[in-house]
Amino acid sequence: MNDRLRHFIDNHRGEFDVHEPPQRVWKNIEKEFFPRQRFFSPFFSVLKVAAVIAVLLTVSFLAVRQLMRLVEPEERIVNNINPSAARQQAQYISLIETKRSELRQLQQSEPELYAEFAEEIESLETGYASLKSQLTAAPDQALVLEAMIQNLRYQIELLNRQLEIIQKINEAKKERGYEESSANI
């Protein structure tokens, strides 16, 4: 069989060389063996990065806007009830944060005392959070607002007392240290 095929090809070689396959056959073969590569320019890469950044910025903007809507109602309600109370509330909250940061310095040197102080202030903060959640649904919002401000005053008073205790402890330590250094001389 092999010899017959070889003999046929040798006898008809001229005929094989005369007829060429159509151009589309060569194009199909070329497509199969050499697939077309996509053309990418640096411009398209930059466009992809810009599109991703634009999507991320849009999503971030919408998320922040939604979060702001969640925070605003309480502030608007407080402002609608009593604008001066809203300013007073903001001042008290700022003062409480300042005093709490002073109190946090105690955490390193006196952890037990700090834990006790933190527990006391935490109970008042829990009460404040409860009042805050009741504010929007309360029939007498002015009364709830006044209770919230009173709670903030209690927190400030408690923090002041705690800071005074810390100051007295520090003074006692200094006096004790001074007496011990005098006794060693």
> Can you give the three-state secondary structure of 34-46, one letter per residue?
CCCCCCCCHHHHH
Is 112 within the bounds of a domain? yes
Residues 100 and 170 in one domain: yes
pLDDT computed for residue 95 by the predictor = 92
pLDDT computed for residue 151 by the predictor = 94
Distance in angstroms (rounded) separating the CA atoms of residues 132 and 153: 15
Is 57 within the bounds of a domain? no
CB neighbours of 138 closer than 8 A, spacing ≥ 6?
Answer: 144
CA–CA distances in Å: residue 13 to residues 2, 6, 17, 22, 23: 16, 10, 6, 19, 21
Number of domains in the chain: 2
Residues 27 and 91 in one domain: no
Tokens of 172: 């006692």
Residues 88 and 168 in one domain: yes
Residues 12 and 99 in one domain: no
Is 171 within the bounds of a domain? yes
Is 117 within the bounds of a domain? yes
Residues 88 and 154 in one domain: yes
- Say how many residues make up the chain: 185
Mean of the per-residue pLDDT values of the chain:
81
Residues 105 and 166 in one domain: yes
Residue 19 belongs to what domain range? Answer: 2-33
Is 65 within the bounds of a domain? no
Q: For residue 83, what pLDDT band results from cuts at 50, 70 and 90?
A: confident
pLDDT in tens, 34-71: 776 666 677 777 888 888 898 998 888 888 877 766 65
Residues 89 and 165 in one domain: yes
Question: What is the enclosing helix (H) or strand (E) of 4?
Answer: helix 2-11
pTM of the model as a whole: 0.55
Say yes or no to pLDDT of 183 above 60. no
Is 110 within the bounds of a domain? yes
Is 41 within the bounds of a domain? no
Residues 161 and 97 in one domain: yes
pLDDT computed for residue 147 by the predictor = 92
